[in-house]
Structure 1
Amino acid sequence: MKSLVLERKDELSLRDFPIEREEEVLGPRDVRIKLHTVGICGSDVHYYTHGRIGPFVVEAPMILGHEASGTVMEVGSEVTTLSVGDRVCMEPGIPDPNSKATRLGMYNVDPAVRFWATPPVHGILRPTCVHPEAFTFKLPENVRFDEAAMVEPLAVGVHAATKARVKPGDIAVIMGAGPIGLVTALAALAAGCARVYVSDLAEKKLQIAESLSPAITGVDARKESIAQRVRADTDGWGCDIVFEATGSPKAAAQVFEPLAPGGCVVMIGGQPDPISYDAGAAMIREARVENIFRYAHVFPRCVAMLASGAIDVKPLITRKFSFEESVHAFETAAAAPPADVKMQIELPQ
């Protein structure tokens, strides 16, 4: 089937691609899905520009894409919760159901998890895919396909807010105003934060951040110290939570500076190399540090919040491309236009 294929580092093509038989056979608890909308994730772009993310190396042509929505077109013989015609979004990581991590409820850290567009597993920038019923979620009528394709990145923010144990009235700092930083800001507010400070180097992204809620304050890191701003606004006490969502070693080295005593740091941004960690700053605050890897158990929560209006991701969708424009879409995303947050690709229906 025609697919967006990463042939090798810096080379993409839109071409017919043979999908392995095991990915096309419909099992008794699987559904076949006609893809509608696929988001372009930073990891997709990183594979395109670097050919690897940490230990995951593109060694053979691979289909990209893992943020998706679509329509069920066929169901397996034992499927009970989905029907042909249902509009759905899909959680892209499938763990080994018998692994210890899965049995303990931490299926996202199962070493055997198969995650779309993570070598050697193919992604879903293609017309159809087969996916387990258990990781496919029906959409309420008022949730659009483009919003549904945002559930995957939103799940990261909701998982981060859950790990932070947000309490009503908390003050949070988000380092980074990219897609993950902004969905984390929305998740933190939905969880109960009274105010969220978002710091970044891009003025356009800070403007988008502030447009999402009057409770969000943008801080231009080129002109102002986030730590000084937060301390000034909190009578020197600091914030309750810091979410590091840049993946920048420089930003990660400063995570404790705005943090209040007893506060929590949540590390979201991926770091390719070991980073500086101020153990003394953490110690004198008795800081709690959490790390997240993707997400677990949050897709239904995300869909419910989109349906209720508790979270609105539509302002984050800043550009759309047709499937035929997929190569151009990735070239555009790789250029990182400052006014764009989330770009999406729509497949023919």
Structure 2
Amino acid sequence: MKSLVLETKEVLSLRDFPEISRVEESLGPRDVRIKLHTVGICGSDVHYYTHGRIGPFVVKDPMILGHEASGTVIEVGTQVTQLKIGDRVCMEPGIPDPNSRAARLGMYNIDPAVRFWATPPVHGILRPTCVHPADYTYRLPDNVSFAEAAMVEPLAVGVHAATKARVKPGDVAVVLGAGPIGLVTALSALAAGCARVYVSDLAPGKLEIAAALHPGIVPVDARAHSLTGVVKAETDGWGADIVFEATGSPQAARTVFEPLAPGGCVVMIGGQPDPIQYDAGAAMIREARVENIFRYAHVFPRCVGMISSGAIDVKPLITRSFDFDESVRAFEIAASAPPQDVKMQIVLPQ
């Protein structure tokens, strides 16, 4: 059972992983066994590869990567009624303790005991099969491809961010960062009702992709233009109702209040490994509301529904795919951060 294994920092191998094979033999009554089809390469996967850690999560032992996935159900537990063998599915990668206080309050994504794929010490799913709870496995409509389904996980971050922002019809938003999360956030904000979304980045290639996604997206090259100047000029000096920070850059995070309108909302999406500067005065004079998000909750079915209906089109974000036997090379390329790429995916043998 070959898997893509992060042996240690900057060392990947495609090899048999007998430890996970033994675990996968166990199928609980509320579980399904899934044959993996498509797995997206996430920035967190790449960061574990290049740095060996993300904040307090440290890779101490060999770990299988991958958490953005789709596949086909090949076995069901005795108590599973909503899924059957042959169903095409996508899977929510975080498994909380259903009895935890956070889960009982509906905030299962911030359950301290959540087990999230490819977050040490939990293995990911760049492997042929996995066992997963049926309650976090979602059937795909016929018109949603495996590649689109593997985009549901990153899209869920954007939908959760737009939900936390409390978007109102006609709002003007700013997204800092035109990477995968920034672009799905822009699409989510538009689907939620924003009239315009200004997307700022340093990479012209990514901005070209952003501009082609939706007529409501306004790309801003941060190398050549002042984002705040552009937004203020086009809002009669008022500013944006919402600013989404999706870069994870301390430099970008320092500027989040500059283009924000009075009474506006800032949503912090990008992970910050260290404390950042925060302009409390700029927030105060605007009476700014600041929201923080950690992954997502209760949005996977919404994402599947929006992709199926055409409300959100994620296909243009998938810029490159690799066969499973090219997985190591795929990560090497992803780590080089090609400016023309947004989302790379790996397709497993069927």
Specify the alignment match of 1:14 in structure 2: 14
State the alpha-carbon separation in 2 of the partners of residues 166 and 277 from structure 1: 23
Distance 2:52 2:289 in 1: 34
Moved more, 221-230 or 68-77: 221-230
Q: Secondary structure at the match of 2:320?
A: strand
The 10-residue stretch of structure 1 (219-228 or 165-174) with the greater mean CA deviation from structure 2: 219-228
Partner of 2:4: 4
Instruction: Supply the AA of the counterpart residue of 1:171.
Output: V
Q: Is the 8 A contact 1:24 1:129 kept in 2?
A: no
Q: Which amino acid aligns with 1:178?
A: G
Query: Structure 1 counterpart of 2:203, which letter?
Result: A
Equivalent in the alignment of 1:43:
44
Within 5 Å, which residues of 2 pair with 1:1-349? 1-20=1-20, 21-349=22-350
- TM-score normalised according to structure 2 size: 0.99
Superposed displacement of residue 19, structure 1: 3.3
User: C-alpha distance in 2, partners of 1:230/1:156?
Assistant: 24
Percent identity (aligned)? 82
Counterpart amino acid of residue 16 in structure 1: D
The structure-2 alpha-carbon separation of the partners of 1:23 and 1:112, relative to structure 1 and needing over 3 Å to count, comes to farther
Counterpart of 2:323, as a letter, is: S
Alpha-carbon distance in 2 for matches of 1:260, 1:24 = 55
Q: How many residues align?
A: 349
- Structure 1: which 4+ aligned runs deviate by more than 4 Å? none
Q: Deviations over 1:305-339 (max 9, x none)?
A: 00000000000000000000000000000000000
Shift, 1:18, TM fit: 1.6
Secondary structure of 1:302 counterpart: helix
Whole-angstrom CA distance in 2 between matches of 1:23 and 1:87: 19
CA contact (8 A) 1:33 1:74 kept: yes
Counterpart of 1:182 in 2: which secondary structure?
helix
Conserved? CA contact 1:317–1:341, under 8 Å: yes
SS of structure 2 residue aligned to 1:324: helix
For 1:23 and 1:110, locate their aligned partners in 2 and report how far apart those are by CA, in whole Å. Answer: 24
Which structure 2 residue ranges, 5 or more long, are not aligned?
A: none
Once the 2 structures are TM-superposed, how far is the Cα of residue 61 of structure 1 from its aligned partner?
Answer: 0.2
CA distance in 2, matches of 1:157, 1:2: 32
Question: For the residues of structure 2 that align with 1:281 and 1:114, how far apart are their CA atoms?
Answer: 37
> Please, which runs of 5 or more residues in structure 1 have no aligned partner?
none
Amino acid across the alignment from 1:6: L
Q: CA deviation at 1:225?
A: 1.1
Q: State the distance in 2 between where 1:242 and 1:96 align.
A: 33
Aligned-pair distance for 1:214?
A: 1.1
172-181 or 218-227, which moves further after superposition? 218-227
Matched AA of 2:49: Y
Once the two structures are superposed, what CA deviation does each residue of 1:101-122 show, in whole Å capped at 9, x if it has no partner?
A: 0000000000100000000000
Relative to the length of structure 1, the TM-score reads: 0.99
Give the Cα–Cα distance (whole angstroms) in 2 for the partners of residues 328 and 317 of structure 1. 17
Spell out, residue by residue over 1:206-252, the C-alpha distance to the aligned partner (whole angstroms, 9 max, x if none): 00000001110100111111111100000100000000000000000
AA in 1 matched with 2:253: A
Deviations 1:36-75 (A, max 9, x none): 0000000000000000000000000000000000000000
SS at 2:148 equivalent? helix
Structure 2 letter corresponding to 1:30: D
1:23 to partner: Cα distance:
4.2
Alpha-carbon separation, structure 2, partners of 1:8 and 1:146:
29
| Residues 206, 219 of structure 1: 8 Å contact kept | yes
- How far apart are the structure 1 equivalents of 2:309 and 2:316? 16
SS in 1 for 2:244: strand
- Taking the aligned partners of 1:161 and 1:343, their CA distance within structure 2 comes to 24
